[in-house]
Structure 1
Amino acid sequence: MNPTPTSEAELLQRARDIAGLTFGELAAQAGMNVPENLKRDKGWVGQLLEWHLGAKAGSKPVQDFPEIGVELKSIPISYTGKPLESTFVCVAPLTGIQGVTWETSHIRNKLSRVLWLPVEGEREIPVAERHVGSPLIWSPSAEEETMLKNDWEELMELITLGQVNQITAHTGEVLQIRPKAANSRVKTEAYGTSGQRIRTLPRGFYLRARFTAYLLEQYFA
C-alpha cells in the first residue's frame, strides 16, 4: 500500500495519477484479484482506491485520511455521467444520541471535506475494464450544508422519538437513512415509541443520487 499522503495536494495528485486507468490495471499494480462482479464484493472498489491513495482508516469512525481531514468517496456513474446509486456516508447512531448536534456529529465530520472519485459503474462493462474518472475535492457550501443539516435533524428527531421503523427511503431531501446490514438477521439496539429498547436493522446515512448528481454537475462543469 502507498504511504499516507501528507497533504491535500499530494492526495489530489495521486488521484489524478490513477484517473483514466482501469480497475484491472490498478489491481495488477496492487497485487489484487479482480472479482467477476461487485454483488458479493461491494467494498472492493473502495479497497482498491484506498490502496493506491494510501488511506489507512479502514472501517474506523474517522475520515479516510484523518491526518489531512479528507474523506474518500467513489461514485459509480452511468454512460451519461449520472450517479447510478446513492452514496453511503456512515452508520447512523440509533442509541446514545442525547446532546448530539449537527456541528458535533460524525456525519458532518465525514462530509466536511470529500475527495470524490467517479468510476464507471454500468453493469455490462466487465469490472476489470471499468475506468476511474477525474477527482474532485469538495466541501459543502453554506447552502448545501443547510440542506444536509435540515435532513439530519429531521431524521435524528424521528430516531429520538423512537420512530426509527417509520423512517423510509423517502424521508429527507438530500440525505436518507436506509438499512445497512449484510443480511436481515443482523440486528442492533434502538428505542421504540414508548422509550423501550427494541432490536432493529442497523441503519446507514446515504446521500441521494440526485444530490451527488448535482455536485458533479455543479463542480465538474
Structure 2
Amino acid sequence: MSFINEITPYAQRIQNDYGILASLIIAQAILESNWGRSTLAVKGKNIFGIKGEYKGQSIILETTEYVNGKPVKVDKAFRKYPTWFESMVDLANLYNTGDSRGRYKKIIGETDYKKAAQEVKNSGYATDPNYANKIIEIIESNELTKYDSTELSSIRVDSKNLNKEVPIVTVRDINKVSTWAEKDWKEATSNGYYDGTRPGANLTREESAIVVNRLRNNFLKLIAENKEDIQRLETKLQEIEKQNHLA
C-alpha cells in the first residue's frame, strides 16, 4: 500500500491535468514496475516501461516482447527519469500527443476503468494479450477506483500546457539508508536479519515473516541450550546472529 500512497497524489494530478483515470495510471505503474521494485523503476525511475530516451538519458535492460503471441527476450533502451513523477507525466503526454494518428485518444476522458484498460491494450501500448485483464484485476483487487475523480467527464485538456516543464519532485532513493536509521540498519544487517540491500524499499508480509522468524528461532535456540545469566545469554545470542550472517 505504501507504493500506492506515494504515487496516488501524482496520479490524481495527472487525472486533473490530462483527463486520464488515476486508477488506470496507478494500476499500470504497479504492473509495469512490480510495485516500484523493478530494476527499471529503481535505476531509471521509469515505472511504465516507456522505451527510448528522456532528455538524452536512457538505460539498457532485457525485456519480454510478445511476437505472434509468444514471449521473446530482447535488449531495449528505456527512458531514464529524475523521479517517478516525470515518468507519469511522460505517459500522460504519450496518451495525449504521443501519436499523430491519435491512437490513444479514446483513453482520454474515459470514465469506465474497464473500457480505459481495454483501450490501452487496443492502442498497441502493450504486446501482452492479457494486458487489459491484468490492469482490471489490479484496479479491482486494490480498490483503486476510490482515487478517481467524479469530475473527470468535465475535464478539458489544455493542449498548450502538455509540454510544459515538469517540476522536480523528490522521491525516496530506496538504495540509501536514512541518517536517522544508519546505526540500527548496520546492526540489523551485520546480525543477518537483512541482506543489506534496498533499505528504503517496501517490506512485504513475506519479508517481515522471515525477519520475525529468524528472531524467534534464535531466541528459542538460546532458551533451549542455555541457562546462564543474562549477560552470557546476550553474548551467546550475538554468536548465533554471527553464525546466521555467515551462513
Structure ranking higher in helix proportion: 2
Structure ranking higher in strand proportion: 1
Superposed pair shares fold, TM > 0.5: no
Structure possessing the higher radius of gyration over alpha carbons: 2
